[in-house]
Structure 1
Amino acid sequence: MSVRHLAGILALLLLAAGAAPVMAEPNDGTVSGQVVDKTAGGGSTAGATVTLVSFGRKEQAPLGQRTAQTDADGRYSFTDLDRDPNIVYLTLARFQNVNYPTDQPFQLQDQAAAQADVAVYETTSADDAIQLENLNLLVVGASQGTLQCMEMGALLNKGDRTFVTANPQDQALARAIKFALPKGAMSVQMQTGFSDQDVIGAIGGVQVTSPVLPGRHQFAMSFDLPYNGSSVDVSMQIPYPAAAYSVYLPDTGVKLEGTPLASAGATQLGGQSYQLYSASNVAKSTIVAGQLSGLGANGSFGPGQLAIISLGVVLFVLGGGVLLFGNRLRPGLRGNGESATDLEQERLELVVRLAALDERFSAGEVSQAQYDAERARGKQRLRELTLARKQATPVIV
């Protein structure tokens, strides 16, 4: 099982862990817990594999892992663990081919033992419990006949079973989680919420083969939409019931005509003014018609500004908070070469490490010379990764 995907989750959470280190006896720590099936009428969790991953705060990287099997009651334990205040632990259980992490990482420097129960669920391939709490289409800008867009929102699994894709290897029969996109959308990339490696093409949009646990799942994806002249069709068929659907347009004279969307006036996102169009209680499979007009050959933003604007806007539209990148883990997907997803994961981890470096410098933990050198190396690598990411093979709808 690869632990590299855990780095993004843990590093983001560790940025807020500012407690001062305390002395502790090493190698006498214990972690125990129970894997509990939360599905109504669920069965035994005996024999489930539990993995304990150790993560270094200073290194901002995984340090190692251990595995154990649950007993007849679903219980597990790990002993002789290091209580170094630099080390943070996370446990995850694999049940019916899905990984389930504990709610929060934990440390052992203040106590010798920790309890870490893990909730797991039975699986289903039926999507009856899938809904959209909100769905948002953001038009960031246009450049040389291409619209740069973001689609973001919150997907709800309101059942007590984890949704898994039937036939995930067969694109035509996958029956995965659907995300609608306007016809002709290309260069689709999942930015947060689900792994970009799990995105496959589908009629009217894309599908994501990642497991979807019960609960709320924020997501954001970017895509380009080519157009000719001064207008483009942004109609979409909404795949699941949606409590709210909104479209944000730059306040530069671009207009939207369609149903059932209605104008809701101007709003501010990321320091920019947008016109908002919205609809409520959109039924499953509703076709939301939309025609943008007033586009020019050159938009209000160039393509290079998409990533800069996106983070602030995504946080605003999704309601703030920490966004977790690649937090649905799947083993055995990484090959020997560096795929586009590998590069993107490294890029995100590097962004987190740079943020952690800023925190350490502000706290006086690193010198000015060390800070400047490490930041320069990080920024150079970030430029290389960003360039390599642009060369990834696009998904065309």
Structure 2
Amino acid sequence: MSEEATVSSGGPAVGRLILTLTIFLLSLLALLWLLISVAPTQAASGAGTGTIRGHLVNGTHNNAPVAGQSVTLQMAQDGSARDLTTLKTDSQGAFLFTGLATASTVKYAVYTRYQGAQYVSDLVDLSKQAVQQIELTVYDATSSSADLAVVQATILIHEPDASKGTFTVSEIYFFQNVGKTTYVGSLNASQGRPNALLFSLPQGARNVALDQGFNSVEAIQVAGGFASDAAVPPGETQFSFSFEVPYQSTSYDFAYTFFYPTVQLSVLTPPALQASSGALSSKGLMTANSHPYLLLQNQNFRSGDQVHVRLQGLPLGSSQSQHQGLFLVPTWVWLVGGVLVMLAIIVLSSLLYHLFQRWRESKPRGRQHAQKRPAHTQAEPEAIHTRGKADAGSSEQDRLLHQLLELDKAFEEGRLKKTEYTEERARIKERLRVLLSLEQEKEHRRGAKERQTAGSSRSPSNAKRRSGKS
């Protein structure tokens, strides 16, 4: 009885122990989950001892403070960036961000959007100095581009891709705004070309990729290029983008239009392309991105000017090489070929007309002779033999004319070279001329023989009439 009591009395203790362990394990798991979920948030939110304080000023009005303007703190970490918090400046244009992480992998930036333009501070690293002071300058906006100019425009043409039939172009611009206001364009195209920042593109350009200077902006296609609502504040601003250009032959005319006054234009091309331009001077070879390029350059261009760069030696893929001959044949060759084809048609039509006329003339004459000489059956084998020769000559002429047509067709389709075509055509025409000469000679002989036969047949009849009279 005592043993049973001991066992039964230990049952509740074991149950409480199991329940306690279960609660402990669940609490531990919950704590671990909380730590895992909260730890990244704390690192991202930058909880720490770092501080960024600063002022927002207006450069158009001699750095006057901008009060009541929203400014946002952005954090960059591990290749990504996100906004942390937004606040408004006080009456003195001041702002303050505290409790920021000071890890070396974390960087900060402050930005604001003022009168349609976005202004961003330089990156702030708190790992070496936990408390830092910055000043963010904004400007009044203007829609006039009168103060804009391009200090340097660089066009880099990369090695062409023969398999795709394209070459990639990278362009870099350094704009200079000499005024005290920020140029802010509009993409409203209801009145034609929009009043926005313009960039030139060659005909057929595709796959435009916007890069530096085009963050958080929009772009639309316009005649001769594209327009963007990117802002240009006072001072120097850099823009860069790239695009693809398709080509169909071994040469290409790269056209560039200046939308703004440009101090200097530089065009870099691979040496194998044999680039040339009447408006740019060759400066020899130079190295860019560890590759050699031919430099074409000139200075002082006005808005509206245009430059053409002729590219030679573009490689063709297998599908393009089949059509290469069509693109490389000059226009005058097509004109000469067309004239020759027309002359051939005229000559052939004339020959066919004369042959038809002779056939029509010979047909009634044969019936007349048959009526006049019904009794002279001995002449029939000879006539049949003569017609056989004529038919043989006619068939030979038809064969030569058919060869002439096939020759012209082969030349038009490009299966014969011009020298081969000229020689073969001359040979066939000479053969036709000989056959026509032989035919004319046979006709002449046949007519003379018929006249002689007719004269001899009349002579016995006259003799009979004379003998009857006597």
Q: Same fold (TM over 0.5)?
A: yes
1:48 aligns with 2:69: yes
Q: State the shift of 1:206 in Å.
A: 1.3
DSSP 3-state at the match of 2:158: strand
Conserved? CA contact 1:190–1:199, under 8 Å: no
Q: 1:37 to 1:275 in 2, by over 3 A?
A: same
The equivalences for 1:168-179 within 5 A come to 172-179=192-199
Which residue among 240, 260, 265 is the counterpart of 1:245?
Answer: 265
CA distance in 2: counterparts of 1:137 and 1:262, whole angstroms? 15
Which residue among 292, 301, 304 is the counterpart of 1:273?
Answer: 292
DSSP 3-state at the match of 2:119: strand
CA deviation digits over 1:37-60, x for unaligned, max 9? Answer: 00146876221101122333xx44
CA distance in 1: counterparts of 2:99 and 2:159, whole angstroms? 55
Q: 1:181 to 1:61 in 2, by over 3 A?
A: closer
Match of 2:123 in 1: 104
1:186 aligns with 2:172: no
The equivalences for 1:110-189 within 5 A come to 110-111=129-130, 113-142=131-160, 143=162, 144-167=164-187, 172-189=192-209
The equivalences for 1:297-336 within 5 A come to 297-298=316-317
Q: State the shift of 1:94 in Å.
A: 2.7
1:92 aligns with 2:111: yes
Quick one: which amino acid aligns to residue 188 of structure 1?
A: V
Quick one: which amino acid aligns to residue 142 of structure 2?
A: T
Q: State the shift of 1:159 in Å.
A: 2.0
Aligned residues: 271
Q: Which has the larger radius of gyration?
A: 2
CA distance in 2: counterparts of 1:77 and 1:122, whole angstroms? 24
CA distance in 2: counterparts of 1:117 and 1:100, whole angstroms? 11
Conserved? CA contact 1:171–1:201, under 8 Å: no
User: Does 1 or 2 have the higher relative contact order (CA < 8 Å, sep 6+)?
Assistant: 1
Match of 1:211 in 2: 231
Conserved? CA contact 1:85–1:107, under 8 Å: yes
More helix, by proportion = 2
Q: 1:215 to 1:168 in 2, by over 3 A?
A: farther
CA distance in 2: counterparts of 1:201 and 1:216, whole angstroms? 25
CA distance in 1: counterparts of 2:292 and 2:281, whole angstroms? 18
Q: State the shift of 1:197 in Å.
A: 5.8
Quick one: which amino acid aligns to residue 96 of structure 1?
A: Q
DSSP 3-state at the match of 1:236: strand
CA deviation digits over 1:89-108, x for unaligned, max 9? Answer: 32223322322122332316
Q: 1:79 to 1:136 in 2, by over 3 A?
A: closer
Conserved? CA contact 2:153–2:172, under 8 Å: yes
Q: State the percentage of identical aligned residues.
A: 28
Conserved? CA contact 2:266–2:295, under 8 Å: yes
Which residue among 257, 263, 281 is the counterpart of 2:282?
Answer: 263
CA distance in 2: counterparts of 1:178 and 1:257, whole angstroms? 23
More strand, by proportion = 1
What's the Cα RMSD here? 2.9
Q: State the shift of 1:146 in Å.
A: 2.3
Give me the TM-score of the superposition, normalised by structure 2: 0.52
Conserved? CA contact 2:187–2:227, under 8 Å: no
Tell me whether 146-155 or 132-141 shows the greater mean CA deviation.
146-155
1:294 aligns with 2:313: yes
Q: 1:285 to 1:232 in 2, by over 3 A?
A: same
Q: State the shift of 1:249 in Å.
A: 1.6
Quick one: which amino acid aligns to residue 56 of structure 2?
A: V
Which runs of 5 or more structure 2 residues have no equivalent in the other structure?
A: 1-45, 319-470
Quick one: which amino acid aligns to residue 191 of structure 1?
A: D
